[in-house]
Amino acid sequence: MPFCLAGLANRLYDRRSSDHHGRVLDPAELDWRLEPIARQRNAEIQTYIDQCKKEDSKVMKLLLLGGPASGKSTVCKQMQIIHKDGFQRPEQLDYYRILIHSNIMEIFRQLIDGCSQVEINLASLQKLIRRINRKFRLAVQEGGTLNPKLGQLLTAAWKSPQFQAVYHRHYEIDLLDSAKYWYGQLDRVCRLDFVPTPQDILRSRAPTTGIFVTTFQFKNARLKLVDVGGQKSQRRKWLHCFDDVKVVLFIVDLAGYAKKADEAEEQTNNLQAALKIFQDISTSRILKNAFLLLFLNKLDIFEELLEQVDLSECFPDYDGENYLDPAKHYIRELFLSVAPPKRGIFPYFTTATNTDNVEMVFQACMESVLKQSTKATGLA
């Protein structure tokens, strides 16, 4: 039944109310006469609140957590591609085209900075670097971004011995994971008629500095996925805002074992930093009733990196071979070991840029979650 809170407040507040003889009622008599109306309105309000709770109970909230650059936003975009309409609107495609071009230039600058960091001499490349920077500034001034000519120049820089040498040591520098992908696609991406593909969009990178929410249907359940920022300043907002969360999806960058954590006060790599965050999440009283999904992500990059950096260099306790299977299982057990013994955790290995892999893993874990939560949530 519809009701008006403002109307009820006015009627209760107006002490000048009178009876049918026009006699002004004293406050006590007014309260007595209005009590049935107030009870009726209170019942209507409570009915409305109960209805809201009932509707909300049909939505399962998933909180997406993890450290910086763990792949959280990529997983969020995968949900948009798999369970919604993807990224098809012209304004979306235009946004990602500009973002991708920005990523390519960011990688260019990161490679230059990386050469300086690991002491690779760029003297013979300075002319080409200045030319690229000049043409990029001109393109931006003219209202564009990258173009075929810039693509050719960037390709020449990428193929240079200096850039190839620093890329071989990419784990030592700050470099976007998608560097090799984009610089292998410059001919296509720098065309004036370039339209981003779903894979391009998944590979694009923009830091999450706020809270992003997307809602979608999964079987008979309505899911609300909440992606929060990975930076330390954002993590302070995680727990107290989400006491009604049913599922926590924690994303880990497996390849982070070889990278020093930017925000670490001590010599800590990204994987160790993620381990500490995961321990905090798994022992949180606020989230103690939430299902905990652990996505050990970037399996493809992790496998490549093992050929260059021994896992034992970062985790001295590891005494296995430097191959994918023993290494990934060691890390999985490492994360499970910091959680309470009886804490229900669903661990999975993922490659977030692989749509088939994410769809299969997400379906498997959510089917398990929904099966276990059917009685409590009424989602089945």
Distance from C-alpha of 150 to C-alpha of 148, rounded to nearest angstrom: 5
- Residues in Cβ contact with 327 at an 8 Å cutoff, skipping those fewer than 6 apart: 302, 306, 311, 318, 320, 321
**Could you give the residue ranges of the DSSP H alpha helices within 25-147?**
27-57, 72-83, 90-117, 126-141
Question: Is 144 annotated as belonging to a binding site?
Answer: no
Question: Is 61 annotated as belonging to a binding site?
Answer: no
Question: Is 204 annotated as belonging to a binding site?
Answer: yes
Question: Is 203 annotated as belonging to a binding site?
Answer: yes
Is residue 348 within 8 Å of residue 294, measured between CB atoms?
yes
Question: Is 66 annotated as belonging to a binding site?
Answer: no
Distance from C-alpha of 213 to C-alpha of 2, rounded to nearest angstrom: 29
Is residue 314 within 8 Å of residue 269, measured between CB atoms?
yes
CA 292 to chain centre: 16
Question: Is 245 annotated as belonging to a binding site?
Answer: no
Distance from C-alpha of 278 to C-alpha of 340, rounded to nearest angstrom: 11
Distance from C-alpha of 105 to C-alpha of 194, rounded to nearest angstrom: 16
DSSP annotation of 191 reads: S
Question: Is 177 annotated as belonging to a binding site?
Answer: yes
Question: Is 124 annotated as belonging to a binding site?
Answer: no
Give all strands of the β-sheet with 247-253 in edge-to-edge order.
211-218, 221-228, 59-66, 247-253, 291-297, 345-349
Task: Kindly tell me the burial class for residue 167, based on how many C-beta atoms sit within 10 Å of its own C-beta (0-12, 13-18, 19 or more).
Answer: middle
Question: Is 299 annotated as belonging to a binding site?
Answer: yes
Q: Which of helix, strand or coil describes residue 112?
A: helix
Question: Is 57 annotated as belonging to a binding site?
Answer: no
DSSP annotation of 260 reads: B
Question: Is 270 annotated as belonging to a binding site?
Answer: no
Question: Is 205 annotated as belonging to a binding site?
Answer: yes
Question: Is 178 annotated as belonging to a binding site?
Answer: yes
**Helix, strand and coil in the chain, % to nearest 5:** 55, 10, 35
Question: Is 227 annotated as belonging to a binding site?
Answer: yes
Question: Is 256 annotated as belonging to a binding site?
Answer: no
Q: Can you say which residues are annotated as belonging to the binding site for Mg(2+)?
A: 73, 208
Q: Can you say which residues are annotated as belonging to the binding site?
A: 73, 177-178, 202-208, 227-231, 297-300, 352
Q: Can you say which residues are annotated as belonging to the binding site for GTP?
A: 177-178, 202-208, 227-231, 297-300, 352
